[in-house]
């Protein structure tokens, strides 16, 4: 068997994040000579899912400054808390993104046959967290109605607002056609809330319901983008079953898709090396010479990597909490015949939280609650993922949101917080770079829902690697491998 150094590789893929892994899937039946490396000891890159022990090691590495996009990471195990299971019983996602049913990612997983290896779960209701008012009204969770049936049945919205909401939902479903198109074009680049106010006479409360469906991290999404996202949400409702518009991959979200894609690459003949990064790089004619941290010196016709350099764009602050409660009421099917959801999303609107010094939250805080059905924690526990834009007080606001949620959803006695992981994720570049034989993927946006724009650089890289053969090949369209249907039906 020839050594790594003896071979001339068609492509070296550095990193096993989602984009690099999807590229490995796309090339898995190309016959290309592929080396796939990752400096981490685990798959997934910024979309990885970590056991408790892996999380401890990851935080230690971030603390020494070796992870460019992450900072201010810490782990807390509250004193007196009991019930934490062994490390491998947990799979904490760094990028817990939901995937809308109309996403092109799902279409590619189906056409490539990779979907057989992934188990998907329903994402349930979206909620708004309501703080108590001066009238001593109880705080609680209000479900956001996003279908005709939910609008009619909800008691959280007045009759007048129900009519406004129905009018808007009908408008969005056909917003790209006349006369709807002419109605919103003048507001295209203005905040969605202004459009809702002027054209639909919505008050602040109803505006919050609508903007929450966009999952906008700053709450200032434009009318053009907001209508597109809400249209995607509404059109995704019922595609894979009644009562839900989005799904979530079991065992750690996008990390599971990355691992499945890498397995396809390995079956196709790619060589995998974890714990191996690039030490030095030199372009020599049509080749790229790489010195790996493993000590190997290799040559490749093309290098595909990701950019881990922070940019000036605003990053996010995250808090991941393992909680000793199943929060059963969050994970109930609300439509007859619907599957039991494994994920629920709760929004704390801007201004609904305050620091100890009385500073109100400038941006929304989102809490994604995951049941044990996700495979991310043991039975009887839940994993809560809290996200907001990074500010000077975002860490404290996430703690406030966690405290408020567990107080409301945990019943008479607030459940124990068994484990906390906190960190900031910086934003990176949003542009693909192609310099000769080196392709650098942009950093995926740390959004709450998967954005199909992530897929475009992958196809561009595939086209460059395939060269002239790309004109005759079908991108991400494969037949089942022999025996795959019988072996893999358990995943459907």
CATH number of domain containing 228: 1.10.405.10
Q: Is residue 79 part of a domain?
A: no
Q: Is residue 205 part of a domain?
A: yes
CATH number of domain containing 290: 3.50.50.60
pLDDT in tens, the chain (492 residues): 468 888 999 999 999 999 999 999 999 999 999 999 999 999 999 999 999 999 999 999 888 665 578 999 999 998 877 899 999 999 999 999 999 999 999 999 999 999 999 999 999 999 999 865 543 345 589 999 887 778 877 877 889 999 999 999 999 999 999 999 999 999 999 999 999 999 999 999 999 999 999 999 999 999 999 999 999 999 999 999 999 999 999 999 999 999 999 999 999 999 999 999 999 999 988 899 999 999 999 999 999 999 887 776 679 999 999 999 999 999 999 888 899 999 999 999 999 999 999 999 999 999 999 999 999 999 999 999 999 999 999 999 999 999 999 999 877 678 999 999 999 998 877 788 888 899 999 887 789 999 999 999 999 999 999 999 999 999 999 998 776 554 444 333
Contact 346, 141 (CB under 8 A): yes
Task: Tell me: do 160 and 217 sit in the same domain.
Answer: yes
Q: Is residue 185 part of a domain?
A: yes
Task: Tell me: do 206 and 266 sit in the same domain.
Answer: no
Q: Is residue 421 part of a domain?
A: no
Total domains in the chain come to 2
Domain hosting 199: range is 147-236
Task: Tell me: do 172 and 218 sit in the same domain.
Answer: yes
């Amino acid at each position: 068997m020839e050594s790594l150094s003896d071979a001339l590789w068609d492509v070296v893929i550095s990193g096993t994040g989602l984009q690099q892994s999807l590229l490995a899937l796309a090339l898995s039946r190309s016959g290309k000579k592929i080396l796939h490396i990752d400096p981490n000891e685990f798959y997934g890159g910024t979309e990885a899912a970590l056991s408790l022990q892996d999380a401890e090691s990851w935080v230690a590495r971030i603390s020494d400054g070796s992870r460019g996009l992450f900072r201010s990471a810490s782990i807390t195990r509250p004193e007196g808390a009991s019930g934490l299971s062994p490390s491998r019983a947990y799979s904490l996602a760094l990028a817990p993104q939901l995937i809308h049913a109309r996403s092109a990612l799902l279409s590619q997983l189906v056409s490539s046959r990779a979907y057989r290896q992934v188990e998907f779960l329903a994402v349930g209701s979206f909620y708004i967290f309501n703080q108590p008012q001066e009238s001593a009204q109880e705080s609680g969770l209000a479900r956001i109605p996003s279908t005709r049936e939910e609008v009619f049945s909800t008691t959280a919205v007045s009759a007048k607002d129900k009519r406004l909401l129905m009018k808007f939902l009908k408008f969005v479903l056909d917003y790209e056609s006349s006369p709807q198109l002419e109605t919103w074009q003048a507001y295209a680049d203005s905040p969605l809330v202004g459009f809702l106010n002027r054209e639909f006479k919505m008050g602040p409360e109803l505006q919050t319901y609508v903007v929450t469906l966009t999952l906008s991290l700053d709450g200032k999404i434009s009318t053009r983008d907001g209508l597109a996202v809400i249209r995607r949400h509404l059109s995704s409702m019922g595609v894979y079953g009644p009562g839900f518009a989005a799904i979530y991959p079991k065992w750690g979200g996008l990390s599971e898709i990355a691992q499945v894609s890498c397995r396809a690459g390995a079956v196709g003949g790619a060589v995998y090396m974890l714990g191996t990064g690039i030490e030095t790089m030199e372009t020599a004619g049509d080749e790229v010479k790489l010195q790996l941290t493993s000590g190997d010196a290799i040559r490749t016709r093309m290098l595909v990597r990701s950019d881990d350099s922070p940019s000036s764009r605003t990053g996010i602050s995250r808090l991941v909490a393992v909680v000793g409660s199943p929060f059963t009421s969050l994970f109930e099917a609300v439509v007859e015949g619907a599957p039991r959801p494994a994920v629920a999303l709760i929004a704390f609107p801007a201004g609904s939280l305050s620091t100890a010094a009385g500073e109100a939250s400038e941006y929304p805080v989102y809490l994604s609650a995951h049941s044990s059905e996700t495979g991310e924690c043991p039975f009887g526990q839940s994993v809560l993922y809290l996200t907001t834009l990074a500010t000077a007080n975002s860490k404290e606001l996430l703690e406030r949101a966690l405290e408020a949620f567990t107080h409301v959803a945990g019943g008479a006695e607030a459940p124990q917080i068994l484990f906390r992981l906190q960190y900031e994720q910086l934003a990176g570049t949003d542009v693909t770079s192609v310099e000769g034989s080196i392709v650098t993927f942009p950093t995926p946006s740390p959004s709450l829902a998967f954005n199909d724009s992530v897929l475009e650089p992958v196809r561009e890289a595939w086209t460059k690697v395939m060269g002239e053969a790309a004109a005759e090949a079908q991108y991400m369209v494969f037949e089942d491998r022999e025996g795959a249907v019988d072996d893999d039906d358990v995943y459907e």
